[in-house]
Every structure is written in C-alpha cells, then in structure tokens.
C-alpha cells in the first residue's frame, strides 16, 4: 500500500496548521493509500546542525537519523504550509533541509493557507521540492483566511477546496505509486 505523510509545517502557538492537517487526514481516511500525520512541533528538530551536507548522507546526530528513518518509509507527502512573509515557515524549510536522499524520487502535494491561500508559500516549496528531486503534483489546495474560516476561528473549507483536495489526492497517489518503481 502507498504510504503518505501529511506534514504540519507550522510550530507556532495558536497555529491553524493542525486544524487543516486534521481535515486533510480525515478526508484521506477513505482513500486507497495510507495517510499518517507528522507534526513538526513533536519532531522538534533544532536549527540545522549537521556539519556535512545532507546530500552526502553522513548524518551525525541522533535527531537527524531518527528524522531520516521517519521520512524514508514514505512514498509521498502532503505539506500543510502557512504563508509567512511570502514563503513557507522556517520550521518546514529546516525539516526539509536536514535530509536529501530520503526525499528523492517521491511525490508531494501542497495545502497552503493564509490571506492569499498560501500561494506564495507553495511556490516557494515547489522550488525546494524540485531541488530535492521530488515530483510535485499540479493540484494544490489554497485555503483563504477570509473564505475558509468564520471570524478567523472556525475552519469551514469551501466546497471548491474539498473538491481540489480530492483531485490532489488522486494526483499524489498516482505519482507516489509510479515513483515507487523508480526507487526500486
């Protein structure tokens, strides 16, 4: 079975990312792939502290080895990202930067949220994913703080975003399955 991780890209107090990731996880429950949640707050990586570039695969710290082991088991990823200052969060960028080969030849998709649906954060992540040799799918989910939350508190995604999520799952699962043959 295809194994996909939903990664919560924010570690801030009062973040919206956990609510969004829970929604993505709930919607994925009926899919033919297996979806797990990974909360970067719980992973608790320090700021990148490896002396050797990740592309060399010579991890010296236990937290890096544990993170590598976690990521290596997945065929694909859904990155749930906030938009901070026209980019993804520092926590998500840091988590991506720790590893290299564990991301290679895997599929990824993006669920962004913010005043403009996290669009600029997703564009930022697309460039990072390309450098990590990940295949990012076209469909993304762009959740607006103005349209998908009531009073910026109660998350109620618009029907178009529910539909976009389904399409995103279809594309992600297809690519994740195809790339499994590339990795073998």
| CATH, residue 123 | 3.40.50.360
Average pLDDT over residues 73-77: 98
The whole domain housing 35 covers 3-183
| pTM, two decimal places | 0.97
Show the DSSP H helices in the chain as ranges.
17-28, 40-43, 62-72, 90-97, 119-131, 159-183
| 96-114 pLDDT tens trace | 999 999 999 999 999 999 9
Q: How confident is the model at residue 48 (pLDDT cuts 50, 70, 90)?
A: very high
Tally of domains within the chain: 1
pLDDT reported for residue 35: 98
Render pLDDT for 112-171 as a digit per residue (tens, 0 to 9).
999 999 999 999 999 999 999 999 999 999 999 999 999 989 999 999 999 999 999 999
Task: Describe the strand order of the beta sheet including 107-114 as a list of residue ranges.
Answer: 34-39, 3-8, 76-82, 107-114, 135-144
């Amino acid at each position: 079975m295809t194994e996909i991780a939903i990664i919560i890209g924010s570690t801030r107090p009062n973040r919206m990312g956990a609510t969004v990731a829970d929604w993505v996880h709930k919607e994925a429950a009926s899919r033919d792939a297996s979806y797990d949640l990974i909360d970067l707050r719980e992973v608790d990586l320090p700021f990148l502290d490896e002396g050797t570039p990740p592309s060399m695969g010579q991890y010296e710290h236990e937290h890096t080895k544990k993170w590598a082991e976690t990521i290596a088991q997945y065929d694909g990823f859904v990155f749930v990202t906030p938009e901070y200052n026209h980019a993804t969060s520092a926590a998500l960028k840091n988590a991506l930067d720790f590893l290299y080969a564990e991301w290679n030849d895997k599929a990824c998709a993006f669920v962004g949220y913010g005043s403009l649906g996290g669009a600029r954060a997703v564009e930022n992540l697309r460039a990072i994913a390309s450098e990590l040799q990940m295949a990012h799918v076209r469909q993304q989910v762009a959740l607006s703080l103005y349209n998908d939350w009531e009073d910026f508190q109660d998350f109620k995604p618009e029907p178009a975003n529910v539909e976009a999520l389904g399409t995103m799952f279809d594309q992600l699962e297809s690519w994740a399955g195809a790339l499994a043959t590339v990795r073998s």
